[in-house]
Amino acid sequence: MCGIAGLFHLGTPKPVDPARVGRMCDALAHRGPDGSGVWTEAGVGLGHRRLSIIDIEGSPQPMHSADGSAVLVFNGEIYNFRELRRELERDGAAFRTDGDSEVILAAWQRWGIDCLERLHGMFAFALYDRNRKELLLARDRLGVKPLFMAPLSDGSLAFASELKGLLAHPLLRRETDPRAVEDFMTWGYVPDHRSMLKGVEKLPAGHFRLLKHGGPAAQPQQWWDVDFSKRKKGTTEDLSVELLHLMREGVTSRMEADVPLGAFLSGGVDSSSVVALMAETSRDPVTTCSIGFDVKELDETGYAQKVAGLFGTQHHARTVQPDDYHEVDRLVQMFDEPFADASALPTWRVCQLAREHVTVALSGDGADEAFAGYRRQVFHAREEQARAVLPEFLRKPLFGGLGAIWPKADWAPRPLRAKSTFQSLARDGATGYARALSVVPPEIRGQLFSDELKRELGEYRAEQPLVELMRNAPARSGLDRAQYADLKFWLPGDILTKVDRASMAVSLEAREPLLDHRLIEFAAQLPHRARIRGTQGKWLVKHTMERYLPDDILYRPKQGFVTPISEWFRGPLATQAKAISSGAGLARTGWFNPRALARIAEDHIARRADHGRILWQLLMLERSIKHLQITG
């Protein structure tokens, strides 16, 4: 796991200052504390920060191919590199190192752009072919590893693993994209199709860019997608056997490391399944880490301890006080762009704990998206059944009218929030799901935003890209489309961003075995009954893991990392809530209506409403503006 950065001149190849590339890499030192390197020649510069995982003494980067004609900087891991190496050796390739980086170089020279389909793993890399005068930028299938890009005024393209790498370049523009404000206030993060800064792009998951000196700035091209349009056949047990095989492959392939390796263990289905399969393979006890809270209803450490006992792991647990509000600025520095998923705090804490014992940790991320494990997916599947029975001309006036008059009940469990259900059923499936996934609905955003920002946004609404993604999905049903959107939109923008930044902040490599692309492709073809039965999502996974895990782990209500932000803003952060409307940070941007902000804060503090999540978003936005040194 590493950090990469570089510069590429699209026009005339100009000299590249290695010190400038070095400064971009230095901003990423937390991603790679074990080594650094810079290589430049006319028109190109590549930089690297290394966290040594495999072939610790060898494989320095930037790495040259055996003949010196190609140069690589690479962030990630290729899990099938030994198989590829053997195949390439049969074709005559010779290797000087024992790591995976040199295999990427040889694969490029043997198969060209088709090498991407052969790479199983998580990666973002830049490869410069000195003969072709081409730069290949590539990102893994699901977007586990990030890559930011920005054109500069001197005609070069800058790229880096994190935005802070680009911020280290003096020519980067620091002008805000107003659509990113709309996106952030809708989702609580800036999705991958947008950046907080105008001109900055994120290479989409499963895409590459092939750039050439003197040529046009080639746009990203998709090299992988997940297809929900097909259905697997077979008995439940046949599917279960295949699933278990793929899960084992995903876990065992990610257990190779020349440094201490362990796992995150929350006590939920996914992390417990990963630990069970690790214990099945490992000769030594698995090292596991969990974080708990001193608030009983938020604490899962008892379940984690039970799983640890079942498999004899070396378990490490820590209880944190649910008052980490003083770490807000640390989070802002970690993410650069505003990021308001409050579970980032406990995620960072468990990464800190894990780094005290291991350098690599396996997680359970990805199964909910792939196998329909989220409650919202279960509700959406039910709503789609209702939409199939009632045509739109009946649903829209009936449920739209009920949604307008029904009292709002955010405090209630989702099944009892009839207002939200009615509002969703009045819309088509894609629009309804986008609304369910959003944090702040458009009518509330309309109250918060200033007239000036509304004019800048015009007709744009943050839900539009998600709705379009769902409507164009390679899918057969509404559930398919919802899962496709979760995998392509929510997963890289929120979940994987959170885990990457939180783990890399402490120089820990996090690996996601349940995001093995073969497992994802299998899950996308499962019949609905293998995904959802009754109120149970992720049904086939739970059924399959019954041979390893007890029912109170598999079938208890789903929990996640929860941070008590609502109470923070009525207690230690109450002054911050009041200051949001009167402070200079948001006020000078001109994006918000100060009276609406004041009303949000007052109603929350007085317990007339629960606006804790909105206040957290506003606070993170305000601090990020300061961190990015932008004024609007």
Kindly report the average pLDDT of the chain as a whole number: 91
Tokens of 405: 């008059």
Mean pLDDT of 493-513: 97
Token look-up 């200051």 returns 579
Q: How far apart are the first and last CA of the chain?
A: 34
Q: What is the pLDDT of residues 306-330, one digit of tens each?
A: 999 999 999 999 987 767 778 889 9
Mean pLDDT of 467-474: 97
Supply angle C-alpha 562, 567, 571, rounded to 5. Answer: 140
CA distances 321 to 133, 296, 352, Å, are 54, 12, 15
Known binding-site residue numbers: 100, 291, 363-364
Known binding-site residue numbers for ATP: 291, 363-364
Q: What is the pLDDT of residues 69-109, one digit of tens each?
A: 999 999 999 999 999 999 999 999 999 999 999 999 999 99
Quick check: is 2 catalytic? yes
Q: What pLDDT shows up at residue 416? A: 45
What percent of the chain is modeled with pLDDT above 70? 91
Q: What is the pLDDT of residues 514-565, one digit of tens each?
A: 999 999 999 999 999 999 999 899 999 999 999 999 999 999 887 666 678 8
Mean pLDDT of 445-451: 96
Cα separation of 266 and 560, whole Å? Answer: 9
The catalytic residue among 2, 25, 115, 351 is 2
Q: Model's pTM, two decimal places?
A: 0.93
Q: Name the band, by pLDDT with cuts 50, 70 and 90, for residue 396.
A: low
Whether the per-residue pLDDT at 391 is higher than 70: the answer is no
Known binding-site residue numbers for L-glutamine: 100
The domains located in the chain, with CATH, are 2-176+198-222 (3.60.20.10), 236-324+331-372+481-555 (3.40.50.620), 564-631 (no CATH)
Count CB atoms within 10 A of the CB of residue 413. 9
The H-or-E segment that residue 612 falls in is: helix 612-628
Q: Name the band, by pLDDT with cuts 50, 70 and 90, for residue 412.
A: very low
